[in-house]
Amino acid sequence: SPGDASLERVAAMPESAQLPAGKWKVGVNYRPVVPAQPTSADPGQVEVLEVLWLGCPHCYELEPYIEAWRKKKPANVKFVQEAVMWGPAHRAHGRLFYTLQALGREDLVVKAFDEIHRRNNILLSPTGNDAQTQSLQQAFAVANGVKEADFKREYSGFAVNTRLQRAEEVMRRYRVESVPLVIVNGKYQTDVGMAGSAEKLVSLIDDLVAAEKSR
């Protein structure tokens, strides 16, 4: 059962990889990733990876906390966000997410969250039509100052397709079953539920980062 598997992972975690006892408990507040996975961080950096979905209300609720943390994170932290790739709707939102990043308009990721969760515009074709989805997402981007030609170029471009392939790989490597999911340095995974709250999750991320930095 999944419970047994996670117990095995905790048992396999060396003492040196666990946080000092007291504040956080391994297997309760965070789980080891066994085996640890390679990251995109440079030597001396610690990678913090968030797996999310624009259509996920829990991801939307966490976003302000992540944005606030991002502004004051240590300089040695490389923060990466990857879109979850479970099905067609997730992949379509993922393509929009990576297109906005490729355009250098990460500010529009927050607006896309608002559009979906506050304005009830899901930015997807109700029938799953790819061309209609692209049209809806393009209209959103253009309304927010993106040139139509630029959006079209990036939407189907090499950079976005490469990011989508990498997101699929992240999904497989970490066996992502729920979002938002946070992975620190390819070694620890946690989420709001495990940490206890959004505020506690941010505190736990900082403590895991500090533990990695000191190794």
The string of pLDDT tens digits covering residues 123-168 is 999 999 999 999 999 999 999 999 999 999 999 999 999 999 999 9
Collapsing DSSP states into helix, strand and coil, what is residue 212?
A: helix
C-beta separation of 179 from 56 below 8 A: yes
Q: What share of the chain is helix, strand, coil (3-state, %, to 5)?
A: 55, 10, 35
Global pTM value: 0.89
**Could you report the per-residue pLDDT of 108-126, keeping only the tens digit for each?**
999 999 999 999 999 999 9
